[in-house]
Amino acid sequence: MIQFECRLLRGLLGFICLLPMCTSAAPDICGPLKTVRDNLNSTLRRRYMKMNFPINYTIQVHYEEVFRVRNISRLLNTSNEDEPVQMRDLQELWLFVSQQGIKRVLRVLPERHPTRRKYLSNLENLFRDFETVYHEPNPRDPKLPESIENIWERLKDPYYQGWKSVKPKSILDNSYRTMPCLFKECFSKEDDSYEYCEVLNRSKEKKTT
């Protein structure tokens, strides 16, 4: 009996020792995400996405590619018990829209344009690195809420004609501002851009009262 208890105790201790290793094996998405955010800071966005373009210059994007905090709030507020919108669904949209916006700007830039060479190409790689880390523990759910599925279909429809003119800088502005709302575990409430999430929080409070 004593020997059995000793073996059981040794097995339990071994499991406890392995537990931190198993936990640490899960990829940390916050590191790569914060690197992306550091490269989306206001100084770089203004220098490369505003000053390097003609005044009032705009590009064409799909309506769904203008992804603001209010869009997050609307999608959460229209969610229902049968088809709840998960934060993961919104994170997926944010990641795709952010990368798509960068691609749209790159398409209109000459090969030697400083914004392409010194900023956007590197930013595109950083988003790609984050995407790899993000998808490892978060594979995309093939069954999505109807509201989210409809957005994906419009985003990927080559014949969809819902276009909107936006300034290049606003694409990255939206990506930067919505990031702390969608990845709260990576950004503290003391963050200087967390105030943008207040619109989302107020909308959720109204829904529950």
Q: pLDDT for 142-189, tens place per residue?
A: 788 999 999 999 999 989 999 999 999 999 999 999 999 999 889 875
User: CA-to-CA distance for 66 and 53, rounded, in angstroms?
Assistant: 19
Query: What's residue 176's pLDDT?
Result: 95
Nearest-5° Cα angle at 59, 55 to 65: 130
Average pLDDT score over residue span 182-202: 64
Average pLDDT score over residue span 7-28: 45
User: CA-to-CA distance for 64 and 98, rounded, in angstroms?
Assistant: 11
Average pLDDT score over residue span 26-48: 91
User: What confidence tier does 124 reach under pLDDT thresholds 50, 70, 90?
Assistant: very high
List residues bridging with 60 in a β-sheet.
Answer: 165
Residue 40's Cβ-side half-sphere holds a number of Cα atoms within 13 Å equal to: 26
User: What confidence tier does 6 reach under pLDDT thresholds 50, 70, 90?
Assistant: very low
Instruction: Set out the domains of the chain in order of their start, with CATH numbers.
Output: 27-204 (1.20.1250.80)
Greater confidence, 80 or 209?
80
Greater confidence, 48 or 81?
48
pLDDT digits (tens, 9 = 90+) for 107-122: 999 999 999 999 999 9
| pTM of the predicted model as reported, rounded to 2 decimal places | 0.78
